[in-house]
Chains A and B, each alone.
Chain A
Amino acid sequence: MSDERLVGIVLVSHSAEVASSVAALAKGLAGGGSAVPVAAAGGTESGGLGTSAELIAAAAAAVDRGAGVAVLTDLGSAVLTVKALLAEGDELPEQTRLVDAPFVEGAVAAVVTAATGADLAAVEAASTDAYTYRKV
């Protein structure tokens, strides 16, 4: 790898517990994943179920090491809020992408890939590819 900067991962869920648990799961399963900056943005600022633009923006800023930020979401307002923030242009770090991926499997794939020093496009591809892992 040409530099040491790792892609940051943000996990956005309607539930704070889901976001932080999936972050812990992905880091735990990733082995070398502990070096990957991962932040959870779950629930509303008041602790309820929902989506907070402020928590998302803060999480993205916290994991930005200059190599890009991959954002994974669960559904509904989580997806729409990230899209709206991206459309604003100045709310999220440069090179932030909403990654189309299953939340749990995609998070694991993203953290595992980011831990190798892969770039944002590779992290996004690995994460999206998790849609193809059939279980039956």
Chain B
Amino acid sequence: MLDADFFRRWMTVTAASVNREAERLTALDSPIGDADHGTNLQRGFTAVTAALEKEAPDTPGGVLTLAGRQLISTVGGASGPLYGTLLRRTGKALGDAAEVSAEQLAEALRAGVDAVMTLGGAAPGDKTMIDALVPAVDVLGDSFAAARTAAEEGAVATTPLLARKGRASYLGERSIGHQDPGATSAALLVAGLVEASGE
């Protein structure tokens, strides 16, 4: 079972990997975006870890809703409301249980991903974070490691796609041949589950 400590670790290790990969995320965002994805997410997850230390929510749902709120208010780019909505909806779906199973987390994340698709209007294949998240959620009930692999493969598979959402979509066919920065950061978030669980 996964408790609030696990979810705090998930956010902390994700913040660390976003820090580590910030330059790469921004570099991916340079040819097809506005070159701020790494710095924006860094700012957001730094605020998340600070808020979690200060408020110390004691349920999995509480950790994720607080984290989501911080991302919406501090990121400054489209990834803020998108990741913020993902974590908040997932957190709300987990309710106020003190512990949740991996299957419950998979189900809650599915609700979170659905909310992101509603908010941004993106579907699988549009070259967005959805292309990493949907395959990850599909196998999350099997193992976190399987979800990590699925997310990473999903992110890599965005390279030949034509962007249909966001700033990159203005580039039309010129967006082809670049890996999507949002799918790449989404894979970091999923990989954080493995690291937090010590698998």
- A interface residue numbers (CB < 8 A to B): 44, 48, 50-54, 76-77, 80-81, 83-85, 87-88
Q: Hey, which chain A residues are within 8 Å of B26, CB to CB?
A: none
B64 to chain A, nearest CB (A): 14
Q: Hey, which chain B residues are within 8 Å of A51, CB to CB?
A: 76-77, 80
Give B71-86 interface residues, CB cut-off 8 Å to A: 72-73, 76-82, 84-85
- B interface residue numbers (CB < 8 A to A): 36, 40, 69, 72-73, 76-82, 84-85, 88, 115, 119-120, 166-167
| Inter-chain contact A48/B85, CB cutoff 8 Å | no
Number of A-B contacts (CB under 8 A): 50
A50-B77, A51-B77, A77-B78 as given contacts; A84 in contact with B167, CB under 8 Å:
no
6 shortest interchain CB distances as A-B pairs: A84-B81, A50-B76, A77-B78, A80-B81, A53-B73, A44-B76
| Inter-chain contact A80/B73, CB cutoff 8 Å | no
A51-B77, A77-B77, A77-B78 as given contacts; A83 in contact with B72, CB under 8 Å:
no
| Inter-chain contact A85/B72, CB cutoff 8 Å | yes
Beyond the given A81-B72, A87-B115, could you list 20 further A-B residue pairs with CB under 8 A, ordered by the A residue number? A44-B76, A50-B36, A50-B40, A51-B76, A51-B77, A51-B80, A53-B81, A54-B73, A76-B166, A77-B76, A77-B78, A77-B80, A77-B81, A80-B78, A80-B80, A84-B81, A84-B84, A84-B85, A87-B119, A88-B69
CA distance A109 to B82 in the complex (A): 30
Q: Hey, which chain B residues are within 8 Å of A83, CB to CB?
A: 81, 119
Q: Hey, which chain A residues are within 8 Å of B79, CB to CB?
A: 77
| Inter-chain contact B78/A76, CB cutoff 8 Å | yes
Chain B residue, CB-CB nearest to A43: B76
Q: Hey, which chain B residues are within 8 Å of A48, CB to CB?
A: 76
| Inter-chain contact B119/A81, CB cutoff 8 Å | no
Chain B residue, CB-CB nearest to A84: B81
Chain B residue, CB-CB nearest to A81: B81
A12 to chain B, nearest CB (A): 12
Q: Hey, which chain B residues are within 8 Å of A80, CB to CB?
A: 78, 80-82, 119-120
| Inter-chain contact B167/A76, CB cutoff 8 Å | yes
Q: Hey, which chain A residues are within 8 Å of B36, CB to CB?
A: 50
- Kindly identify which residue among A44, A50, A76, A84 contacts B72, using a CB–CB cutoff of 8 Å: A84
CA distance A76 to B40 in the complex (A): 14
